[in-house]
Chain A
Amino acid sequence: MKYLPLVLANLGRHKRRTILTITSVALALFLFASLQTVVTTIANAANVGSVRRLVSTSATGIVFPLPISYANRLQAVPGIEAVTYANWFGGRYGDGRKFFGQFAIDPKSYLDMYPEISVQEDQKQAFVQERSAALVGKGLMNAFGWKLGQNVTLQGTIYPGDWTFTIRGTYTPTAASITDDMMFFHHDYLDERTGRQGLVGWYVARIDHPDRAATIAKTIDDQFKNSSYPSKTGTEQAFNASFATMWGNVSLLMGTIGMAVVFAILLVSANAMMMSARERTREVAILKTIGFGDTTLFGVVMLEAAVIAVTGAVIGLGGAKVLYKATHFSGGGFLPGFDVTGTTLALGSAVAIVLMIASGAVPAIRAARLPVISALRQVE
């Protein structure tokens, strides 16, 4: 460590090159962390969401409804504490360029079911009391510049016509599984407007103990097995996971690209390290002449590589972590809970260490083995 000033002086000599190399490393690790996070987010979707909530959807397919009468029958199943339901609306706002989810819900029971959707008490009351009220996520409010109390009109794609809602509340999510760009409104309002009675999209039930999830889910499905509306019930985690698996091969692709990125930048920085070492052959010879040992010189060159790799890693990995946290990035709502995990940071650090060894080893060995006499003869 006492040689650090010498190392820093070496790095400072070619400031431009050092900065370029560090930036390349930082960019590579930033990309690596981002791509890896896409992969982990998709894989982790199964761990996002509560284990105490079950989701019942139609076994026939995602677009098919379930009867409203199931609410009471679910309530009667032993182990179920609370039941609520929701329905996908699928409207477009404005030019429809920004996609966001809208849900028709039973306001009271839904907000009780999801404490993660945190709403100020007065706004909550206002939303629950008004039939045509809407509750909108903070992120969506900002994206469109909406204000509380404003009327917004959506074009229905599934339920035709223009739908006008009054924004009576905003919510902030307190868990990764809830994104901040959703819109909720009254299920009653949907029924009233469409004349559709007695059907809902899916049910959510809270159970008293997560260990009983599988048995309760089976009880529910067996109950409706031979009806005209069979259900498929699983934990909320499994429900989220099924959406995440829809990305198919995309996650594999991201992983592959992440590797390619790392490898490409590895070449770049190894190249830069080797060049700077080659230029300093004469200096190394002089250092040897005045008594520096082989091992010491090996260490000095390695330390130089380490400074570059570590600085790049801190900027790249730290940058990714901070940036996604600060911007609440969720891939347009498709990747809820997008956060650089500890494992990803560890992997990135491992990549940085490999980078350091790969780019530092050759010049370091060369420096250690340098025959002094012949090196001094070299004319610059």
Chain B
Amino acid sequence: MKIPFIYNARSVIQRPASTAFTAVGIALVVAVFIGMLALANGFRAALARTGSDNNALVLRRGADSELSSGIDRETANLIATSPHVALAADGRPLVSPEVYVLVPLVRVGGDSNAVGNVVIRGISEKAWDVRANIHVDNGHRPASGRSEICVGTKILGRYRNTSIGDRLRFAGRNWDVVCNFSAGGSAFESEIWGENEQFMPVFRGQVFQSVSFRLKDPAAFEEAKRALEGDKRLQVDVHRESTFYVDQSKLLGDILQFLAIVITSIMAIGAVFGAVNTMYAAVAGRTPEIAVLLTLGFHPRSVLASFLVESALIAAIGGIIGCLIALPVNGFVASTTNWSNFSEIAFNFRVTPGLLLAGLIFAVVMGVAGGFFPARRAAKLPVVQALR
């Protein structure tokens, strides 16, 4: 025989102050939990969207990021002529040998020492087609042979002189900003693009950092990898673009996730203690009630269940409040350095339904954990004494 749920619901309303305190305590833990994981999620998602399954990225053998790679012209040309490269409608290979460097740009609203390391990517004309979902929002693409650059949407408003029509100075030259581009929330949005042949002489001379190309047959990636890595004339590693960028998020993603888990665990212990305190007090305060329930013939197991349900209910209320507190951070832009390649990247917090559900479950688990010992005490109450 179960004790009706309404009994618990009413008991919770009976002591509004202490219920509210416990619930809000749990709510804050859940909010921090969701917020921190939304940050780690957002960062990972930005990099996960950067690469495409249909593309291959070629770096120098042993290089662990685009920054530390180097590929000469000859190698780039050999890769472009590989049979694994897809062809565009005009019959030319869909390949983009790219220059990748970091330049210090001055942030908006800081002094001239407040700089961030921004990725400058020199691309070939074909990159706009090779790369996934790049979209020029305003202006026109940089013309070949001119010092023109296109600025990612996440750079706008965060660094000086990055609006269309501005002149941005880096590497000892002036560059005209002629367009903005978006890339579906990927890490590309934190980059500045221009023509590779323009960037080569001012940065590292006659060397590219990477070569990206569209695979003729995405399923035949392994074959393309074997062919290029086995070519005696080349010293390269071939990565599937999508997995490469996901790996680039590993270091910082792990740091953020570790922080999230440590912080919320410590908070959760505190919140569970709060729930334990609340429930013990509830049991102590309702001793006669419990005794009556037992006298009426409810099984001690039912009493135990009933108190667990009550504790879980308080926690669930807290969980819902926590989700509501955390929801507004969705879409909020944060920026930090991706330590895998030292570049600054801006990305959105991502609160997903799955994350909200995890927060709720986490809350209920805290409630049940906090309610267990008090509920057991209630179930083991010596009836005769308690009725006195």
Is A253's CB under 8 angstroms from B28's CB?
A: no
Bound-state Cα–Cα, A137 to B306, Å: 58
A17-47 interface with B by 8 A CB criterion: 17, 20-21, 23-24, 27-28, 30-31, 35
Q: How far is the CB of A146 from chain B (nearest CB, A)?
A: 22
B244 contacts partner chain A, Cβ-Cβ < 8 Å: no
Is B267's CB under 8 angstroms from A31's CB?
A: yes
Is B113's CB under 8 angstroms from A60's CB?
A: no
Interface string of B245-277 (1 = CB under 8 A from A): 000000100010000000100110111011011
Give the chain B neighbours of A332 by CB distance below 8 A: 255
Is A20's CB under 8 angstroms from B276's CB?
A: yes
Neighbour of B113 across the interface among A234, A248, A257, CB < 8 A: A234
Neighbour of B67 across the interface among A20, A63, A249, A253, CB < 8 A: A63
A322-347 interface with B by 8 A CB criterion: 332, 334
Interface of B is mostly: helix
Q: How far is the CB of B157 from chain A (nearest CB, A)?
A: 15
Bound-state Cα–Cα, A157 to B269, Å: 42
A31 to chain B: closest residue by CB: B266
Is B273's CB under 8 angstroms from A23's CB?
A: yes
Is B266's CB under 8 angstroms from A63's CB?
A: no
A226 to chain B: closest residue by CB: B172
Neighbour of B273 across the interface among A20, A90, A270, A278, CB < 8 A: A20
B354 contacts partner chain A, Cβ-Cβ < 8 Å: no
Is A271's CB under 8 angstroms from B18's CB?
A: yes
Give the chain A neighbours of B28 by CB distance below 8 A: 260-261, 263-264, 267
A265-B64 contact given A27-B269, A27-B270, CB 8 Å threshold: no
Interface of A is mostly: helix
A289 contacts partner chain B, Cβ-Cβ < 8 Å: no
A248-B271 contact given A60-B103, A99-B251, CB 8 Å threshold: no
Q: How far is the CB of B169 from chain A (nearest CB, A)?
A: 11
Bound-state Cα–Cα, A238 to B32, Å: 33
B380 contacts partner chain A, Cβ-Cβ < 8 Å: no
Give the chain A neighbours of B64 by CB distance below 8 A: 92, 96, 157
Name 27 A/B residue pairs within 8 A (Cβ), A-sorted: A23-B270, A23-B273, A28-B270, A31-B263, A60-B103, A60-B203, A61-B171, A62-B104, A92-B64, A242-B113, A245-B115, A246-B117, A246-B336, A248-B334, A248-B336, A257-B36, A257-B263, A260-B31, A261-B28, A261-B270, A264-B29, A267-B21, A267-B22, A271-B22, A271-B277, A279-B285, A332-B255
Sorted nearest first, the 8 A-B pairs with minimum C-beta distance are: A268-B274, A246-B337, A264-B28, A271-B21, A248-B336, A275-B281, A158-B68, A20-B273
Q: Which residues of A contact B (CB under 8 A)?
A: 16-17, 20-21, 23-24, 27-28, 30-31, 35, 60-64, 90, 92, 96, 99, 155-158, 160-161, 230, 232, 234, 238, 241-242, 245-250, 253, 257, 260-261, 263-265, 267-272, 274-275, 278-279, 332, 334
Q: A16-B280, A263-B28 are in contact. List 6 more A-B contacts (CB 8 A).
A: A31-B263, A234-B113, A238-B113, A248-B335, A264-B270, A272-B277
